[in-house]
Structure 1
């Protein structure tokens, strides 16, 4: 996920149906629900969520497992992502690659993805094909077949993926080092794809152990969005997923980060770097935080500081002072455990990283001491809510946001009430959130430089 992830995290557009002009976005009558998620839980523990949308005869079918890279055991980094690859390799009833071939033959689209907190699989298909794909997805939830002959070649694929996306990309390598500095104990400091030396040692047994531990209905969320009714989806879920037995799932207890008492600074140089960059992150609350008002205030603060060309950072550093080619902020609000609030910038040729850092820190100091203006507050909240309006046209997007939020520990109530809670945020809330999060003792500063360059 990139820096713009904050534009859709928690933007639960399925719960929005705003009317009138943008100036009326905060009127109570303009924040009803558009799609009320219909929810049930099967006897085996599978949570089923349906978003009805009858504009087109298509459907998105997603299964989310509450198991991601941060749930991996020591020395097994990358196994969550590796198993994601292996889930396409065949079952007791389907040959390797047959799942994807059937999707293509039926004019559908499919993919999967792994994060620190979850792994998800989805298909976009015509509504009449839903039973077929529900049957196949249920099949690989319980009938996956793996052998050394299947696993070994795919391990090479994953290693090549790491080479292409990370090892050959200095910004990606820097990001790994930065996260490792931010999280000294918590597994968020380990990359989702895994460390190369650990990936190389993953085995068929490791993959099967992960599959048999976490891939169970009582550790999954089924999201179906599109031209369906909740009643028919519930019946299909009972038919195809219902017979799969529940399994004892380990408690989701991860090594927690000890209190950070000192600012950390890392610097990396690489001959492939052309543009130096600066980054600073602060530990911040997780999506499961009981203080939802503070969480929403941090989202508004992120929008004020880094939400586009009118934001404080971009407008000040790029437009007015012209000391940076880019500048912004983002709050990764969708984490199961402690998250981060990030500031970043890159200098123009006539300025240095110190110039960028000084200008950004001056803005931080001003917000902590003087708060934000009412104009900034209103504009930020309108932008967040407007993004939700524009996003509601995507059926898969709605399912994606709901699934990721639930898998990260949020409740349906918290998700559905997001627009109402955003609209209640005051300038005082934002200033308090800034005072809380901008603590230098809980920060990490990173500098990425061209080789032999001075900041």
Structure 2
């Protein structure tokens, strides 16, 4: 048992190295999270700090397991064509024999205080210069979360304001995107952008503040707002077509607070007005409520432009970039072929917003396989 514990701990250490320590900005992103979430438990990385992993004992791991991984802390979801009575009987047969935990998970009592001043982090990394600007907003089911979601949709995509103005217009960014992240206890709105050519992070910041100013002072035109709402309605419908992703949505909503929210969110999005967007743009996007991470290129580092990566939504680019980097480092063509088959099988089931990322990664895999097979001849 002890040998298994220590070998598994080594696996988690390796996962942390791959996810965080071996990526160009991983450690800095972790630092930014801790700076932004000053008091909230959201400041802790899910996988833990290196010192946490080194200090955990077998007894502590079992205590954690018996507190959180028990039936009284479990959410179960069944989706598909089934007999509810028969399903309930089966669930009772197999799950009622499990004893509930003796200790309930402790409540979260430390919430994020109001930020009093702007915070900044400056970092040098082997990456294209980039900026993230993040604001404290609201959590799951808060009425303003829907206006913030619509606001991010107005900004995102190839027809969104950020791409039109910063990528195609001023050409200061190779990519730019925004995202509202509504969590259980709090929320955050992020703007992320990467420089293009000789542009600087300062120009990215200025571009964002200009876009924000428009939202704060001008009502979103009715046609633009309706286009975003129509897209949201279509996305909502498509997400219901896959049992797997319906299951994920239900589980996530229940874990956050209420599974039935997925039945209500579409109507709440449709109810958002131009005045709501203008109001939240003024209420949450104050200078004292923001944290800014600026990444400049480390001396000697060079980055090649990737137009296909630039076309992806901003919040997804970091994930896609890291995955593409691992694909480029892979030397086993058979392993890549296996991964490519898996991606193709999953492609039809992913949410619409993830489809461009899947397509991008499949192209990278195909190119790397071709490269490896040519070099082997």
Bin for the TM-score computed over the shorter chain: 0.7 to 0.9
TM-score scaled by structure 2? 0.76
Helix, strand or coil: the match of 2:56? coil
Query: Hey, what does 1:264 align to over in structure 2?
Result: 119
Looking at structure 2, the residues matched to 375 and 386 of structure 1 have their Cα atoms a distance apart, in angstroms, of 17
Query: Hey, what does 1:373 align to over in structure 2?
Result: 221
Alignment check: 8 A CA contact 1:283 1:340 kept: yes
Residue number among 211, 227, 233 corresponding to 1:385 in the alignment: 233
Deviations 1:292-318, CA, capped at 9 Å, x for gaps: 2x1111111111112x11111111100
Q: CA deviation at 1:388?
A: 1.8
Higher mean C-alpha deviation, range 383-392 or range 308-317: 383-392
Query: Hey, what does 1:158 align to over in structure 2?
Result: 12
Looking at structure 1, the residues matched to 284 and 208 of structure 2 have their Cα atoms a distance apart, in angstroms, of 15
1:200 aligns with 2:49: no
Query: Hey, what does 1:169 align to over in structure 2?
Result: 23
Looking at structure 2, the residues matched to 390 and 415 of structure 1 have their Cα atoms a distance apart, in angstroms, of 13
Looking at structure 2, the residues matched to 250 and 166 of structure 1 have their Cα atoms a distance apart, in angstroms, of 28
Residue number among 152, 172, 185 corresponding to 1:302 in the alignment: 152
Q: CA deviation at 1:326?
A: 0.3
Alignment check: 8 A CA contact 2:253 2:261 kept: no
Query: Hey, what does 1:347 align to over in structure 2?
Result: 195
Alignment of 1:9-48 (within 5 A): none
Query: Hey, what does 1:125 align to over in structure 2?
Result: none
Looking at structure 2, the residues matched to 211 and 345 of structure 1 have their Cα atoms a distance apart, in angstroms, of 40
Alignment check: 8 A CA contact 1:217 1:245 kept: yes
Runs of 4+ displaced beyond 4 Å: none
Query: Hey, what does 1:318 align to over in structure 2?
Result: 167
Query: Hey, what does 1:253 align to over in structure 2?
Result: 108
Q: CA deviation at 1:413?
A: 3.6
* Greater helix fraction, Structure 1 or Structure 2: 2
Query: Hey, what does 2:90 align to over in structure 1?
Result: 236
Looking at structure 2, the residues matched to 369 and 226 of structure 1 have their Cα atoms a distance apart, in angstroms, of 47
Gaps of 5+ in 2: 301-377
Query: Hey, what does 2:74 align to over in structure 1?
Result: 220
* Greater strand fraction, Structure 1 or Structure 2: 1
Query: Hey, what does 1:430 align to over in structure 2?
Result: 277
Name the Cα RMSD after superposition.
1.7
Which structure has more relative contact order (CA 8 Å, sep 6+)? It is 1
Looking at structure 2, the residues matched to 287 and 281 of structure 1 have their Cα atoms a distance apart, in angstroms, of 17
TM-score scaled by structure 1? 0.63
Helix, strand or coil: the match of 1:331? strand
